[in-house]
Amino acid sequence: MLFERVRLMAVPAFGLLAASYLVMLIGVSLASEERVLGLNQPKRFCGAYLDCHRIVSVVGLERHRDGHRP
């Protein structure tokens, strides 16, 4: 009886949590702006588990004769 009650409360709570996460994810994505990084310009972002200390940068560029990527 108690397990059934907990299950009946947990399913909508999980659905609400998932829907809230989805709304926040879409909202942040729409609010952010796209930009092209220059050489050695850092780009900070949050990775999994809200680890917001990730940084990437463009460190090199190769041009090929035919103009295609390798």
> Alpha helices of the chain — where are they, by DSSP H?
2-31
Please state the domain extents for the chain: 2-57
End-to-end CA separation in angstroms for the chain = 62
Q: Is residue 6 over pLDDT 60?
A: yes
Q: Model confidence at 70, in pLDDT bands (50, 70, 90)?
A: low
For residues 51-66, give the mean pLDDT: 80
49 or 69: which leads in pLDDT = 49
On the 0-12 / 13-18 / 19+ scale of CB atoms within 10 A, 25 is: exposed
